[in-house]
Structure 1
């Protein structure tokens, strides 16, 4: 997940991750964000209604451009489906992952030798010069002309389809759930005619999460503080604290709940040190982005707030890309659950 856009916007997009089916999500069965309208026995043509725009695919895309958008959801989803050879330019990076070798695999992808614009993504003329047949963006931000990007209409005129990821239509990841990660997988499965692979990944994730949730069912739900390691997002001491979004769904499935879920209606809460100190925190979940030692940051906070139950019990867990929109939410659920309730496993 790159942090090139202004910090608050970038992290919000990432959680679209946590940088990304659109609209109100959560209920895959009734989702109106992306629906398959037609498909022949060979799998094509496939038409998706994505953020109110119909995108028809006559064959599987072969020149995919993945925009930055402070996300790794899209590139990780493509990799999980074995579609890395379709990518001609990827701008999404994170540097670490719960999935072995994923960070290294992302680093090896072509970048298209793109010189980013002032909005820290692929400018219009460069995008068109890449000759894509599919462009992926975590939100509609990536297709906004005022930011210097190619619009969806301009891409269509150049022969390219476009796709905005879950919750990206309204650019509001605060309502995102794990179901949105499954929707992204399902949609990419349809577009690339690998629906069986997508279905297998979804089923495996659901099975893993169900097994974890069963182990912690009936246990006391710890009150958790989730924040980004060594990051400042606003005017207060604790401005990178997560209040809403997919992370709350992950916590719930791991048998915990967010101590600050009511602190803001948006994805992030901008909290004072006094507010944080006055809240009983049973455990810390620290999300690492380009921090080589997030555990050190967690220990620093526990030392700073010795009154927390988390400090007395030294209870914390560090995570990375599995906390965001993407194909690996089950890994976050399992890692958090095991750290918070090791006796259940």
Structure 2
């Protein structure tokens, strides 16, 4: 008996409905339903409003690229949350850390074996070749087409989400506080469905900072100079001196104040040697960025400005990642407080 195509198709469809044993379409639908149910159970989808962009995550990212941006905030946050295995390429490193084992852990991460551009970061074609599902950038600079980077739209077209860290939307870290470090932790906790870990880290940090601040409460606030060692950012002799930003929040919580807060409205002050010499500096925080001996830089400063109270009393501390955006600001608060108010500990 012959059967025309429409009749055959109808019969096949009827048999499939009765037996649920044929056709990949029903399997796919069942699989999709199972996947969607599992995702919903795991807390997905997750949507973040990031610099005016809606970023929706249907599952936890598994191929993360961490752009450089002269930061370690993003990679340190992922490591603190136990997510190092999700990173396929990391370009961030300070070469040191106040957290035991972190610098070594960062060094072991894959870099993607790519040729970086003149900004020591990941160019567009190399980025797309890494097949990321999440790209982290310190600021919107890392997604600017004119800088040779993949834009957020281009990344979205290949199925990759993107994220700009707190205060990076306008590339203005002068407004940054410790709360921004907690926001970065919370956002990554949501994205990777590890919010419980993020909240534990935040709670521990808040507790540690509160304990330190309580010990130095009511003490006189020494004037502190915070700067990167052996780094030039402007035209003057001292262009890597912090005037604003998260360091000021850390200093305040540690019972100190920034000696150069009024010298600029931006994050960094570009200062002459004469201006620095005319300022009373009670203590110095030297931040090491791939500098093997930041203590030597502090000694050099004290030789250059022997009139400082800091030089007379040899009052300084060397720090790196804990003094900037990231998961370990409580370490910096404690270290600075112990330098400024040793009798309180």
TM-score of the pair, normalised by structure 1: 0.87
SS in 2 for 1:239: strand
Gaps in structure 2 of 5+ consecutive residues: 1-38
The 5 Å alignment of 1:278-289 reads 278-289=278-289
1:225-264 CA deviation, whole Å, 9 max, x = no partner? 1111122222222111110100000000000000100100
Counterpart Cα distance in 1 of 2:154 and 2:332: 38
Does 2:329 correspond to 1:307? no
Residue 316 (1) aligns with residue 333 (2): no
How far does residue 74 in structure 1 lie from its aligned partner after superposition? 0.4
CA contact (8 A) 2:94 2:288 kept: no
Q: Kindly report which structure 2 residues correspond to 1:257-336, keeping only aligned pairs within 5 A, or say none.
A: 257-336=257-336
2:78 equivalent to 1:83? no
User: Which structure's residues are more often helix, by fraction?
Assistant: 2
CA distance in 1, matches of 2:169, 2:298: 34
- 8 Å CA contact 2:95–2:291 kept in 1: the answer is no
Identify which of structures 1 and 2 has the higher relative contact order when contacts are C-alpha pairs closer than 8 Å and 6+ apart: 1
Counterpart in the other structure of 1:343: 343
Checking the alignment, whether the CA contact within 8 Å between 2:288 and 2:318 is kept in structure 1 is yes
How far apart, CA to CA, are the structure 2 residues paired with 1:214 and 1:313?
Answer: 25
Q: Report the Cα offset of residue 312 of structure 1.
A: 1.6
Match of 2:124 in 1: 124
In the alignment, the residues of structure 1 paired with residue 117 and residue 76 of structure 2 have an alpha-carbon distance, to the nearest angstrom, of: 24
Deviation at 1:117, TM superposition (A): 2.0
Q: Is the counterpart of residue 232 in structure 1 residue 263 in structure 2?
A: no
In the superposition, relative to structure 1, how do residues 145 and 279 fare at CA in structure 2: closer, same or farther (>3 Å)? same
Question: SS at 1:244's partner residue?
Answer: coil
**How many correspondences in the alignment?**
307
CA RMSD of the aligned region, Å?
1.1
CA distance in structure 2 between the partners assigned to 1:228 and 1:163 by the alignment: 26
Offset at 1:40? 4.0
TM-score normalised over the length of structure 2:
0.87
Task: Give the Å deviation of 1:42.
Answer: 2.3
Q: Distance in 1 between matches of 2:210 and 2:181?
A: 16
